[in-house]
Amino acid sequence: VVNSNYNTVYGAPYYSEINMVSGKKVWMQTSSTIQFGAQGDITGPGQFELDAGCTLITAHPLGFSANGNSTVGNGSIICAGNKSINASGNFIYNGTASQITNDGLPTSLNGNLTINNPTTVTISSALTLGNASVLTLTSGGLILDSTTLTITNTATSAITYTSGYIQSETNMATN
């Protein structure tokens, strides 16, 4: 159980992983945070659960995979057991190489999404940010390609911006 602590699973230059045993689970509770390096991951036959309010941070180029068998490759959470990712979690993509969100990012997100990658993060499938969600652009581009990004939060704080841009397949919006 990861509970109210900040934990790091580093990657390069050291390959690091948490290898889960069958019947065991990494369970993130009570606003806890776990950060994955570019090659860090949770693997094995075990399970993973993310509660509302918890934060996943990844520098892995392949983001988070929902089932460990993504057609585009696996990211930071690739355990073969059940995964429960609460849509009210928070997700931060902070790599230094281009990243994809992959199929582990909920398609209807009620938590927050932060892009802090000096290159780009590409959304892998249509994404809806809920009424209380905030999209934070800290660095780099959020690439939509042929996917749709819907932001239902109508507050002026729904998108916060330090640096970066959102790019569709036909144009680029900057602030």
Contacts of 102 (CB under 8 A, 6+ apart): 62, 63, 64, 65, 66, 70, 72, 73, 75, 124
Residue 9's pLDDT band, with cuts at 50, 70 and 90, is low
Residue 10's pLDDT band, with cuts at 50, 70 and 90, is very low
Cα–Cα distance, 24 to 172 (Å, whole number): 45
Strand partners, 114: 92, 136
Per-residue model confidence (pLDDT) at position 143: 96
Buried residues in 50-79 as b, exposed as e (16+ CB within 10 A): bbeebbbbbbbbbbbbbebebeeebbbbbb
Contacts of 121 (CB under 8 A, 6+ apart): 63, 93, 95, 98, 99, 100, 101, 115, 140, 141, 142, 143
Per-residue pLDDT of 133-174, as tens digits, reads 999 999 999 999 889 999 999 999 999 999 999 998 755 555
Residue 108: CB atoms within 10 Å = 13
Handedness of CA 118, 40, 111, 54 (dihedral sign): negative
Q: What does pTM read for this prediction?
A: 0.86
Cα–Cα distance, 129 to 171 (Å, whole number): 21
Per-residue model confidence (pLDDT) at position 73: 60
Per-residue model confidence (pLDDT) at position 159: 96
Looking at residues 99-111, what average pLDDT do you find? Answer: 93
Contacts of 70 (CB under 8 A, 6+ apart): 62, 102, 103, 104
Q: Average pLDDT over the chain, rounded to whole?
A: 83
Residue 115's pLDDT band, with cuts at 50, 70 and 90, is very high
Per-residue model confidence (pLDDT) at position 146: 86
Per-residue pLDDT of 44-77, as tens digits, reads 788 888 899 999 999 999 998 766 655 556 788 8
Per-residue model confidence (pLDDT) at position 11: 44
